[in-house]
Amino acid sequence: MNKVEERLNSILRKAENSSEITTSHFSKLDVTNKLVTFSFFDLNQCKIKFSVLVLVLGHLLYKSDIFNSSDECFLEMPSDASKIFREPESCDICNNIDQVDKVVNISALDFYEKYARMAKPLVVNDGAVSWPAIKVFDFEFFKDLYNSIDTKQNSRRNCQFFPYKTEFKSLEEVFEMKIERSILAPGEKSWYVGWNNCNDEAGKILQQYYEKPYFLSNNSENIAMSWIFMGGPGHGAHMHVDNVHYPSWQAQLRGKKLWKLAPPPECLYKCKTFEVVVEPGEIIVVDTNRWYHQTFILPGEISITIGSEFD
Ligand SMILES: O=C(O)CCC(=O)C(=O)O
């Protein structure tokens, strides 16, 4: 094929000096079409070689320690994709459960043996009753807190903000809303948002007003960042399952929130879906990685919760 190409090139050079032969004459020749097909095939060969190179490099990087040294992934799996690849659940977690127990003064051992070990959800009536957060946390408190610190400083990665059905694009925008709307004055557009506190300085201040729930054992840790959900009646989170590392607790500080818990789809025929209302001072504990959950703020006061994963 190279010889043919060379000869064609020499003819082309001669043709350049001729006013009678143009390139359109060449396009009509069979040999030109063959060469074009060949070079296109060559290009595809290049693409194949390039793709193989990318795959090999990707594999080598994956196998090397470069990206294994931290918890961060080189590429995040999209959350919807991770749900598709979720391992099927054993229906033991939901078999024979048709309600969420409400308990009081539960010991760490009972909590672990009767609930946490089996991923059985529960509400602890007296979980947060004595926390100053119940009196202190409100819209103005969070607004002052986040306006008083430089959120670009001491902020970890993985800061997340859930606008739900609002127009807000960030927590900063939430705190710019006018006072009437923030207190859900009649006629104002209602709102509901959630965020994880990823700022160490803000975290230290928040922790002055709440503590690790008393029913978690001494060995158990609050993991990573706290999550705050705040907003008005009629709103909540759609039915979903999380893809986090551990189960979570969530303390209801103000307002009332209805939780709907559903078994994973593979257990729908064996297990029931049920609801529980969480009131101020109570803590709900759910393995949100295993139980599908939906929330709905009940009529009344603005709902404010704080929660965290625990191991
Ligand atoms: O508290 C809420 O409204 C939503 C909580 C939630 O969806 C979660 O923790 O995964």
Nearest CA to ligand 1 atom 7: 237
Say how many Å lie between the CA of residue 74 and the centre of ligand 1. Answer: 27
Is the pLDDT assigned to residue 39 strictly greater than 50? no
H/E element, 294: strand 292-297
Do 89 and 267 contact (CB within 8 A), yes or no? yes
Structure tokens belonging to residue 96: 């024979």
Say how many Å lie between the CA of residue 273 and the centre of ligand 1. Answer: 17
What pLDDT score does 2 carry? 55
Q: How far apart are CA 143 and CA 310, in angstroms?
A: 27
What pLDDT score does 250 carry? 98
Do 42 and 5 contact (CB within 8 A), yes or no? no
Give the pLDDT band of residue 225 (cuts 50, 70, 90). Answer: confident
Is the pLDDT assigned to residue 70 strictly greater than 50? no
Q: How far apart are CA 116 and CA 287, in angstroms?
A: 8
Alpha helices in the chain (DSSP H): 2-16, 23-27, 30-63, 79-84, 108-110, 133-136, 139-148, 171-174, 179-182, 200-206
Please report where in the chains the tokens 């819209």 appear, as a residue.
139
pLDDT tens for 153-166 read 767 678 999 999 99
Residue from 191, 226, 227, 310 whose mutation best tests the ligand 1 pocket (most atoms within 8 A of CB): 227
Higher pLDDT, 177 or 150: 177
Say how many Å lie between the CA of residue 295 and the centre of ligand 1. Answer: 7
H/E element, 103: strand 101-103
What pLDDT score does 18 carry? 53
Give the pLDDT band of residue 88 (cuts 50, 70, 90). Answer: confident
CA atoms within 13 A on the CB side of 140: 5
What pLDDT score does 232 carry? 97
**Domain residue spans of the chain:** 2-63, 91-310
Give mean pLDDT, residues 122-128.
98
Higher pLDDT, 71 or 104: 104
User: Across the chain, what does the average pLDDT equal?
Assistant: 82
Which amino acid is located at 80 in the chain? D
Among 40-54, 84-98, 175-189, the range with the most confident prediction by mean pLDDT is 175-189
Residue from 256, 261, 282, 288 whose mutation best tests the ligand 1 pocket (most atoms within 8 A of CB): 288
Q: How far apart are CA 270 and CA 145, in angstroms?
A: 47
Higher pLDDT, 265 or 223: 265
What pLDDT score does 5 carry? 58
Tell me the pTM.
0.75
Locate the ligand 1 atom nearest the alpha carbon of residue 236 and give its number.
Answer: 3
Structure tokens belonging to residue 137: 């946390």
The CATH H-level superfamily of 91-310 is: Cupin (2.60.120.650)
The response to whether residue 288 sits with its C-beta less than 6 Å from ligand 1 reads yes
pLDDT tens for 197-214 read 999 999 999 999 999 999
Is the pLDDT assigned to residue 246 strictly greater than 90? yes
Structure tokens belonging to residue 297: 């703020």
What pLDDT score does 19 carry? 52
H/E element, 295: strand 292-297
Give mean pLDDT, residues 169-179.
97
Is the pLDDT assigned to residue 132 strictly greater than 60? yes
Which region among 23-37, 71-85, 176-190, 198-212 has the lowest average model confidence (pLDDT)? 23-37
Q: Which of 78, 79, 71 is nearest to 242 (CA)?
A: 79
Please report where in the chains the tokens 């094929």 appear, as a residue.
1
Q: Which of 150, 142, 250 is nearest to 199 (CA)?
A: 150
Give the pLDDT band of residue 260 (cuts 50, 70, 90). Answer: very high
The response to whether residue 229 sits with its C-beta less than 6 Å from ligand 1 reads yes
Please report where in the chains the tokens 């127009």 appear, as a residue.
167
Give the pLDDT band of residue 86 (cuts 50, 70, 90). Answer: confident
Among 36-45, 76-85, 236-245, the range with the most confident prediction by mean pLDDT is 236-245
Residue from 191, 293, 294, 298 whose mutation best tests the ligand 1 pocket (most atoms within 8 A of CB): 293
Alpha-carbon distances, residue 277 vs 51, 124, 187, 255, 298 (angstroms): 54, 12, 27, 10, 9
